[in-house]
Structure 1
Amino acid sequence: MAVNEFYLNHFGLTQRPFTLLPDPDFLYWSEQHRKGYAVLEYGIMSRAPITVLTGEIGAGKTTLLQKLLAQIDPTVTVGLISNAQGNRGEILQWVLNALDVPFEQGATYVQNFQRLQDFLVSEYAQGRRVILVFDEAQNVSLEGLEELRMLTNINANKDELIQLILVGQPELRDIIRDPRMNQLAQRVAASFHLNRMDREATHAYIAHRMKQAGGTGHEFTTEATTLIHKATGGVPRLVNQLCDFGLLYSWTDDEREVQRKSIQSVLDDGTFFWAQGDQEEAQSR
C-alpha cells in the first residue's frame, strides 16, 4: 500500500487533496480566479485579438486554462502550445503542429504561412473560430511574439480569423511592455494578473480541497493554515506541497487534525523542498 493511501484512510479521504498536477475538479474559485476566468471568457466572446493571463509559478494559471478549454464551444478549433521556443519560422511550425495542419519539412516560411492562412479561411468558411493558446509564453522570444502578432492580421472581411491567448509568468507582462513590442501590446484587448492568495483565501482554499477529496474541511487548524500561508506566501502550488506533508506528518503522529506543530516540523526538517531563504522571507512578511 502506498504511503499516501495510509493518510487517506486516516483522514477518511477518497483521493489526495493536494497533488501538484493541475486539476480543474479541485479549482477553488477565489476572487482572483473568478476575475481571471471572467477575463479569459471575455477575451474569447469579444473576439479579442490577444488575451493575456499572467501569474507566478503555481498561481493556478494552467488549471484555469484547462477549465476554460473543457467548457469551450465545440465549434471552436483550439491549438494548445506549451513551452514553445524559437524564432521566426519555428513558431509558425509550432502553430501548424498544434492545429494539426500538415506541412513539409524544409518548406519555406512563405509556404507554411500560406498553409496556415488557407486552413484559417477554410475553418472560417465552415463557421468555426480558431483560438491559439500559448502556455508559458514568457519563453517565446521577442521575434517569436512579433510573429504571433502578425498572425492576428489575417482576416476575412471585418472578422479576424485567429485569436491568441498568451499565458505566462509575471515577466511576460514586462516583455509585452517592452517598447519594441508596442504593436503587440496594442492588440492586447484583455489581460489579468493572478496575485497570491491572502491568509483568508488560503484557509478557504485548503478547506475546499479537503472537502473535494472527501473530508470535512476542518482537518487543518486555523493556526496551521496561518503558518502555511506565511511559509508559502499564498502560492497555491506551494500550499499544496506543504499541506500534503502536513497530512503525512499528522498521520505518522496519529493526529486526527493537522496542527501548527506538524507544519512547523515539516519546515524544521527541511521536508518542504522550497529554498529556506524563500521560506524565511515569506515568514517575515
Structure 2
Amino acid sequence: MSRTALVAIGGNSLIVDKDNPDLPHQWDAVRETCRHLADMIEDGWRLIVTHGNGPQVGYILRRNELSAHEVHTTPLDIIVADTQGSIGYMLQQALSNELFSRNYDVPVVSVVTQVIVNEDDPAFQSPSKPIGGFMTEAQAKLFEAQGWQVVEDAGRGWRRVVASPKPIRIVEEQAIQQLVAAGGVVIAVGGGGIPVVQNRKGELREIQGVMAVIDKDWASGLLAAQLQVDLLLISTGVPQVAIHFNTPQQEDLGQVTAVQLKQYLDEGHFAPGSMRPKIEAVLDFLEKGGKQALITSPDNIGKAMRHETGTWIKG
C-alpha cells in the first residue's frame, strides 16, 4: 500500500470532559477527531483507524452490575465486540458526514476484529489490567467469589483486573487490507481487538474468546506492521512525548530515532498504562520494518503532519 497511515485514537479521546461523559459530548469529541482525519484524507492519505474503549467497557460493566438481578451479565469478549460496534458506528458516521461535506465520496466501514493471543502468555498468570470502577473490599470479595481477580488500588478502593496478553495476529487482516486497497477507510482493532485463542481439532482451526483485554496501542502497532503502512500515528493526551515528564527538567521530544527512544524507555521515562505501551508499540512497528511513527494529540494532528509539533520517530 502506498501513502497509507494507521491512526490510533484513545477511548478517552471520546470523553474529553470527565464531568460530561454522556453521549452528546462523546459525539462532539468524535466529530472533532473526524475533522482531523478528514484533513489527512484530503491530503491524499489512505486511513486505517483504530480506537480504545476503556471508559466504555467500564460503563457496560457497571450496567451489568446494576441490572444483574434482572438480566444476564455480559462476558468480556462480547463487551469488547459491543464497543467495537458502537464506537465504530460513531466514527464511521461522523467521518462519512465530514467527508460528504467536503464533496469526498470515500466509503467508511467498521470491521469487528478478533486478535489471536497465546493462551500460555505469562499475562494470564499475573492479571494486571484494571477494568470497571472502584469498589469496597466487601464488594470486591463478592466479585472474587464469582471468579474475578481483584486488587487494592493505592488506597482508592478495589478493582477487578484481567490479563493483558500480547497480540500475535489479526484474524481479519486480509479483509482489512482488501478494503483499504479498494479505497475505503477502515475502522478496525477497536479496544485492541477481541482476544481469542486458537485451538486445533484434527484439520479444523477453532478460535475462542478469552477473559482478557489487549492493549490498543500494541494491537495497532502489530496491524500497522502487518499491513506495511507508511505511517503509524498514535494520538494521545499530549502534543509531544516528553522525558522527565511533569518535572522542572521536562524535555519535549520533536524528532528521535528508535535507538534514542529505546534508551529513554529503558531509563524508565514512560509510565506503564500511559505512555509506555505507545512507545513499545512504536518500537515494535519500526523493528518489524515500519518506516516512521508520530505521537501527538488529536487536535494537533494537522500541525504535527506539518512537523510543527508532535514527536516523530524513525528507525
TM-score, scaled relative to structure 2? 0.26
Of Structure 1 and Structure 2, the greater helix share is in 1
Select the structure of larger CA radius of gyration: 1
Larger RCO of the pair (alpha carbons < 8 Å, separation 6+):
1
